[in-house]
Structure 1
Amino acid sequence: MKAYQREFIEFALENQVLKFGSFLLKSGRTSPYFFNAGLFNSGKTLGSIGRFYAAALVDAEFNYDVLFGPAYKGIPLVCATALALTTEHGQEAPFAFNRKEKKDHGEGGDIVGTPLQGQIVVVDDVITAGTAINESIEIIRANKAHLAGVLVAVDRAEVAPDGSGKSAIQAVQEKNGVPVRAIITMDHIMEFMAEKGTYEKELALMKEYKAEYGLKN
């Protein structure tokens, strides 16, 4: 685990974005942890999250021309990431996001920001069923651009409930032939818990959950 990943976990815990307990997911599973990216809702937390996304993007070594943040959660994330790439890494990072409804006056269109041209990296919070990312891919293709990769906050690394034996992220990677990267994975969280040595009960539940629902290598 790299320094920025460890710092991200600490940051998420401090801001109660990452919690341990018992959480009922949309899939019907009861998870021993929950990550709520919606709680990155202040200037301070947004500035920090941008730094972590930027570090992960540089680490992933994506070759891209434009960053794309899908409405709505992806909009502040892509803005914060582009700003951090410039201030922290000295990289120019053109970005864009979409409107949910196409504007028929003024400049018109459904894309705000840099035109979607060339290689595009999608910046979003999570991939669950893959519906949102598929919508982004359709937008990118409609603009005759190419998907170069996807960056999200967390990879839960668990099999989808559809019986495929694959995770939602694996399904997106295989369907589109592009890499999907995350700032952290469930394994990173478990490694952090083990290092701290104060999460014995919670870590045991995480291991049970992974044994039952985690990806089988």
Structure 2
Amino acid sequence: MSATSYAASIIETALASEQPILRFGTFTLKSGRSSPYFFNFGLFNTGSLLLALASAFADAIVDAYPEIGSPSAGPDTPKVLFGPAYKGIPLVAAIASELARRGRDIGYSYNRKEKKDHGEGGSIVGAPLKGQKVLIVDDVITAGTAIREAHKIVEAEGGQTAGIVEALDREERGQGELSTVQEVEKELGVMVTSVVKMRDIVAWLKGKGKLDEMKAMEEYRAKWGSLQYNDTGLTTQAANLSSISASSLVASD
């Protein structure tokens, strides 16, 4: 499945839900920036919504790692999914289940916030991380603090971070001209895969003729977008997304 398809799918789902998961307006982020949109992944809080999100994640993961969960998987292919507590716990379990449904069986684990000193003990629940190539799952990398902490947990358990997959890449500058995602990639030396990018949302708005929202997004991108995004503008992937017929993109206004 193309990235265009699963990006469009999750945008549609987010807009069509009873509690709009993706909203347009004016929102103050933790960074202090005033954003024209807000994607609240905590609202994927029913079985059907979680399944839709897990399916989109699985599509993105298989695109990035074609051999994942298969007998032919090479030594550098991730063998375990890791979901940082707490948001990552249901998400990583749902993604592993969806991959298994597709015949791609892979381990998953998550951490406890407080280390357990009885029973099986330790701070990790699920598949062992020691000696494994691990794919970390997250919703949005904002400042990168949480993902760096997840990386430290994986390494402390004897695993090796092989990659990161996130639901949304806001494609905003971090501390310098690079985006936070690009900074994380450079620092950790791994690839970050995204289900949806900001450019996908802009292209979706263009395809739906929502010009006011699109203008606000473009102005925000011009002010806060990473250097790479500002240089390249909308990619072919995003351009293709905008060409999807309105009839196939049903969303509630």
- TM range, smaller chain: over 0.9
Q: Distance in 1 between matches of 2:33 and 2:115?
A: 37
Q: Does 1:178 align with 2:182?
A: no
Q: Does 1:73 align with 2:87?
A: yes
Q: Deviations over 1:88-129 (max 9, x none)?
A: x21002100000011000010100000013100001111111
Q: Which amino acid aligns with 1:3?
A: S
Q: Which amino acid aligns with 1:204?
A: K
> What is the alpha-carbon root mean square deviation over aligned residues?
1.1
Q: Deviations over 1:103-162 (max 9, x none)?
A: 0000101000000131000011111111111111111111111100001100000102x3
Q: Distance in 1 between matches of 2:157 and 2:227?
A: 37
Q: Which amino acid aligns with 1:200?
A: L
CA contact (8 A) 2:179 2:227 kept: no
Q: Which amino acid aligns with 2:108?
A: F
Q: Distance in 2 between matches of 1:60 and 1:13?
A: 26
TM-score, normalisation: structure 1: 0.95
CA contact (8 A) 2:79 2:134 kept: yes
Tell me by how many angstroms 1:31 deviates. Answer: 0.6
Residue ranges of structure 1 left out of the alignment (5+ in a row)? none
TM-score, normalisation: structure 2: 0.82
Residue in structure 2 matched with residue 200 of structure 1 by the alignment = 211
Residue ranges of structure 2 left out of the alignment (5+ in a row)? 69-76, 229-253
Tell me by how many angstroms 1:76 deviates. Answer: 0.8
Q: Distance in 2 between matches of 1:2 and 1:78?
A: 22
Q: Find 1:130's aligned residue among 138, 144, 147.
A: 144
Q: Find 2:47's aligned residue among 35, 43, 46.
A: 43
Q: Distance in 1 between matches of 2:13 and 2:195?
A: 12
Give the fraction of aligned pairs with identical amino acids, expressed as a percent.
47
**Superposed structure 1 runs of 4+ greater than 2 Å apart:** none
Residue in structure 1 matched with residue 104 of structure 2 by the alignment = 91
Tell me by how many angstroms 1:195 deviates. Answer: 1.1
More moved, 65-74 vs 136-145: 136-145
Q: Distance in 2 between matches of 1:129 and 1:138?
A: 16
Q: Find 1:115's aligned residue among 124, 128, 133.
A: 128
Tell me by how many angstroms 1:188 deviates. Answer: 0.6
Residue in structure 2 matched with residue 141 of structure 1 by the alignment = 155
Aligned length, in residue pairs:
213
Q: Distance in 2 between matches of 1:125 and 1:150?
A: 10
